Amino acid sequence: MTAPVVLITGASSGIGRALAIEAAKRGFAVGLMARSEEGLRDTLAACHKVSGSQLEGTRFVSTVGDVTMEADCARFIQDALLAWGRIDVLINNAGISMRGIFADTEISVLKKLMDTNFWGTVYCTKHALPSLLENKGTVVGISSIAGFKGLPARTGYSASKFAMQGFLESLRCENLETGLHVLIACPGYTESNIRKTALDAKGSEQNESPLKEDKLMSAEAVAEATWDAIDRKRYYLILTLQGKMAVLINKLFPKLADRLTYNVIKKEPNSPFK
């Protein structure tokens, strides 16, 4: 029996790399996509290192591409189908963040967030869907607590994650009788470079994190929990106590959630709220 196939976007670092390594450990054939060729090489090397005999004879495939470009997404899917002839799991992980008060933020920043976080998910899912349906596979969206609770100074990020979640929930409901599984995974604050590469109000990378990265959940822990949720065919995965509390409080006490969220963001180093 051939190995099941997983495709992962944004696989050059952080959660994407950890998801790929965990997939290799679990015996998957792994297709990777990211903009960074160097980062993809490092991820591939890590996958080969952990695969051992579990993936003997199985190839890894990487595609350098940008999820904001539909043609790149289509090429990524086609590369995988040429290599293995099937897709069992698609993990839409590629994403960027932002920090800036909306009144000061260029519209182009919000558009870039939507192009990456929302449209990247739509493009890859659209082109992979025929094979996923044929194999009763799984579509995963790596979302955020920001997809449940709008975050101040993250208007573009929250909007893109709300859109992603709405798309995936609709897709799930459409396919209740086809066997397609859809998972929305919300890691909460995770140790990664997403905050360093987050865009500021003018669209430049902020190159610093407002959080203590070494105190956050590890990307490896997120990857393991996500794969377990895929195996159990869960609808949602909300990680960290802070994340679970944020979703619950926002549902029951929205005014309190607004105040608590505002206060947290206001206390961040170099917060846009003075």
Cα–Cα distance measured from residue 105 to residue 203, given in angstroms and rounded to the nearest whole number: 8
Cα separations in angstroms, 218 against 54, 74, 189, 193: 25, 31, 9, 12
- The percentage of the chain sitting over the pLDDT mark of 70, rounded to a whole number, equals 92
3-state secondary structure of 115: helix
What is the length of the chain?
Answer: 274
pTM over 0.75: yes
Q: What does the DSSP 8-state code read for residue 117? A: I
Instruction: Identify residue 10 by its one-letter amino acid code.
Output: G
Task: Name the nearest CA neighbour of 11 among 79, 97, 129, 91.
Answer: 91
User: What does the pLDDT read at residue 226?
Assistant: 98
Cα–Cα distance measured from residue 236 to residue 222, given in angstroms and rounded to the nearest whole number: 13
Cα–Cα distance measured from residue 69 to residue 210, given in angstroms and rounded to the nearest whole number: 30
User: What does the pLDDT read at residue 176?
Assistant: 97
Supply the mean pLDDT for the chain.
Answer: 92
Instruction: DSSP for 176-241, please give it.
Output: TTTT-EEEEEE--SBSSSTTTS-B-TTS-B--S-SS-GGGSBPHHHHHHHHHHHHHTT-SEEE-SH
User: What does the pLDDT read at residue 207?
Assistant: 66
Q: Would you say 230 and 180 are in contact if contact means Cβ atoms under 8 Å apart?
A: no
Indicate the Cα dihedral angle 109, 112, 114, 118, nearest 10°: -150
Sequence-ordered strand ranges (E) for the chain: 5-9, 29-34, 61-64, 89-92, 138-142, 181-186, 236-238
Angle at 122 between CA 120 and CA 128, to 5 degrees: 100
- Is 235 tagged catalytic? no
pLDDT digit string (tens) for 58-101? 589 999 999 999 999 999 999 999 999 999 999 999 999 999 99
User: What does the pLDDT read at residue 157?
Assistant: 97
Q: Could you tell me which residues are beta bridge partners of residue 4?
A: none
* pLDDT < 70 stretches in the chain: 1, 52-58, 191-196, 207-215
Q: Would you say 189 and 242 are in contact if contact means Cβ atoms under 8 Å apart?
A: yes
Residue bearing tokens 């208007």: 155
Residue bearing tokens 């159990």: 232
Q: Which residue out of 123, 157, 189, 236 is catalytically annotated?
A: 157
Cα–Cα distance measured from residue 248 to residue 87, given in angstroms and rounded to the nearest whole number: 35
Buried residues in 174-209 as b, exposed as e (16+ CB within 10 A): ebeeeebbbbbbbbbbbbbebbebbbbbebeebeeb
Query: Fold for domain 5-96+107-189+217-238?
Result: Rossmann fold (3.40.50)
Indicate the Cα dihedral angle 192, 48, 70, 127, nearest 10°: -120
Domain boundaries, the chain: 5-96+107-189+217-238
pLDDT digit string (tens) for 181-195? 999 999 987 766 665
Residue bearing tokens 């995936």: 168
User: What does the pLDDT read at residue 216?
Assistant: 75
